[in-house]
Chain A
């Protein structure tokens, strides 16, 4: 059996401080590693979401284009159905085509034709046309497309339509008289299923081109469309691309003469940002909608996350370095006073021993850091497979961090409270800063663990019956008083007497209140902080009101996002940006909510509404 004697040898303050310093560095390293792992996991999700969103936007543009093409397709089918039974009744066919054109949207449908096989009904009579097209403001009927110089039934569009069977095919778009056109064509058949001719629907496409140009609303994003052959149908920088091609020896008459490889050459010559593209196919035509977004814009959320995490890591290191500096000063002061009290020899041997202990501890800790780093890397691989695994890993890390923090916080307090010998006021204040920093680290560990559990959907409430909300509120008021210290802020108690007992997670409800109150204390320099509670039907309303700087309406949602502090809050460099998102999710987990009213310059009120007996919560501990 091992027992420790009740009065151990008094440990040297110096070796304590050395150990505290080293452990502090190790804890900071572990937190840094943990946050980097957290950032990697989160980044992957954010990137996937951004890419999905980009693809969905490309698809939406493609769907709009497609709807016009489907219109043209339907028009061709309808015309074929109506024309086929009319056979050689020329007047009725002409009149029908006029009606079809009149009913079609004139901004995109330019002409409709029913092109018969020339000797379909009679070997002697060549039967052709008719074709109607717009000649603003009227529709014109014409047969002019059958001359000795122009025999339509040898033209490519006719042959393609004839070969298409009953399906509608689209020609590639073509440039003519300053505008871009395209035709849809299909065969139509007589009642005995013999081929009668081809129906054409001619489309004029400036509207579709304008639709894409208009979709280019963001300077960091380009929307353009290519045809099935890879020709560019429309691009917002058409003029520049055409100029570039001409300078390089090409002579395109329109953008349709250029292909994606010309676009690539153009982009390669200009100083383009790094981009990410989504491509969505357009129905019927084989066209593609391209949505090319600057990486910086697309992954802005990733950059925000990383810069915030970098800030947090920087903050943690700043705390640690400040604490190390404080400890170092404390150590040198201690040795100075010892010099006065003790002989030089004793002092040297003491220091030597401290150094040796430090060295041994240091080697052990370095080994531990290597071990832990290897464990972290292994854990990372596992965590990538499932979010739940990530939560478990962070829980384990929290355990590993809490153990050394136990040593840091308590050893420091043994020295600062004079248990190990007298300390002067300055030394005590310095040591208290170490304690405050350590407690901040503890808060950070808890918050990161909480948010990871919430994001993994692994948050569990420890539900008890008969939670006395009044006790929690009184504790919150006591905390507020200690946080305000000597600032001219008064704490106002508006807690109604006789509040009913609640069902819920006592610790978590208390956590919400403490988060709100510590925020109020952080941002209120003078005035009042009011803590209140009242019963409203089957709910309890809790509120924390302050006369601080207030929050702009634009920032209301931001402060509830993970790491989403306001600009002012970030500038103050306090907090983790996790307290409010955690609090809101905890309130929601209870079947309640957390909301906010605020006026800049006047203050903020946070309201928490919790059901007294939430029906969906199952008691973790049965009633005694």
Chain B
């Protein structure tokens, strides 16, 4: 990690608007300088290792082509350098069954869309400290 106030964050999201929301939130409102955003999951493994910095936390959208969030999680967990990173689902699917699936498949937390930017800074801090958070409404 660069430092506590400037974490390295990776976000994978295929929806343009959602990307723009997180980009503004992280770079403009929270003024983070190391924010990387992938537009889809193509060549995810190569793109991940090609990043100039190793992320401190990864946010994944779930419903995505060609590989969904669960596929990307498997790649992260299979890589020795990245296996222990906190991986958080950022999804608009908030049915209980889906959240249960996220937990059993090994995500470290889930945040529902719409993202609540008022309490996001606090939640991010806690996630970076290793806490599991399931905020699904």
Contact = CB atoms under 8 A, between A and B. Distances in A.
Nearest to A10: B28
A402 B90 CA distance: 12
Interface stretch (B68-76, B80-88, B95-103, B121-129): B95-103
B37 A1 contact: no
A460 interface: yes
A142 interface: no
A420 interface: yes
Nearest to A417: B29
A213 interface: no
A476 to B, nearest CB: 14
B108 to A, nearest CB: 13
Contacts of A413: 117-118
A6 B96 contact: no
A254 interface: no
Interface stretch (A301-309, A377-385, A404-412): A404-412
A210 B71 CA distance: 76
A3 B36 contact: yes
Contacts of A335: none
A403 interface: yes
A2 B92 contact: no
Nearest to A510: B137
Contacts of B23: 4, 8
B93 A399 contact: yes
B27 interface: yes
A4 B36 CA distance: 6
B38 A6 contact: no
Contacts of A4: 19, 23, 35-37
A621 B17 CA distance: 33
B32 A410 contact: no
B117 A406 contact: no
Interface string A45-65: 000000000000000000000
Contact of B136 (A1, A7, A507): A507
Contacts of B77: none
B113 A406 contact: yes
A410 B25 contact: yes
Contacts of B27: 6-8
Nearest to A400: B92
B94 interface: yes
Nearest to B47: A1
Given A6-B35, A409-B114, A461 B96 contact: yes
Interface in B42-77: 43, 46-47, 50, 63
A406 B114 contact: yes
B136 A406 contact: no
A19 B24 CA distance: 16
Contacts of A409: 114
Given A3-B36, A446-B137, A420 B28 contact: yes
Nearest to B61: A403
A419 interface: yes
Contacts, number: 99
Nearest to A392: B95
A202 B100 CA distance: 74
A522 B108 CA distance: 37
Given A2-B38, A4-B35, A405 B47 contact: no
A404 B29 contact: no
Contact of B32 (A2, A6, A405, A411): A6
A462 interface: yes
B92 A406 contact: yes
A2 B103 CA distance: 29
Contacts of B92: 398-400, 402-403, 406
B18 A403 contact: yes
Nearest to B34: A6
A110 B73 CA distance: 89
A460 B94 contact: no
Interface in A1-20: 1-4, 6-8, 11, 19
Given A1-B43, A2-B38, A3-B37, A407 B96 contact: no
B91 to A, nearest CB: 8
Among A4, A419, A461, A621, max chain B CB count under 10 A is at A4
A7 B32 CA distance: 10
A466 interface: no
Indicate the member of A399, A442, A621 with the most B CB atoms within 10 Å. A399
Contact of B113 (A402, A446, A460, A511): A402
B114 A2 contact: no
A406 B18 contact: yes
Contacts of B131: none
A407 B95 contact: no
A507 B117 CA distance: 20
A411 B93 CA distance: 21
Contact of B24 (A1, A402, A414, A462): A414
A398 B15 CA distance: 16
Contacts of A40: none
Contact of A410 (B37, B39, B96, B117): B117
Interface in A465-486: none
Nearest to B21: A410
Given A2-B38, A19-B17, A438-B114, 20 more contacts: A1-B38, A2-B37, A6-B27, A6-B33, A6-B35, A11-B20, A395-B95, A399-B92, A402-B94, A402-B114, A403-B15, A403-B17, A405-B113, A406-B92, A410-B115, A410-B117, A414-B25, A414-B28, A419-B29, A462-B96
20 contacts: A2-B37, A2-B38, A4-B23, A398-B92, A399-B93, A402-B94, A402-B112, A402-B113, A403-B17, A403-B92, A404-B17, A405-B114, A407-B17, A410-B117, A419-B24, A420-B24, A460-B97, A461-B96, A462-B99, A507-B136
Interface of B: 15, 17-21, 23-25, 27-29, 32-39, 43, 46-47, 50, 63, 92-97, 99-100, 103, 112-115, 117-118, 136-137
Interface of A: 1-4, 6-8, 11, 19, 23, 395, 398-400, 402-411, 413-414, 417, 419-420, 438, 442, 446, 460-462, 507, 511, 620-621
In the A-B complex, the 3 residue pairs with the closest CB atoms: A402-B92, A406-B114, A407-B17
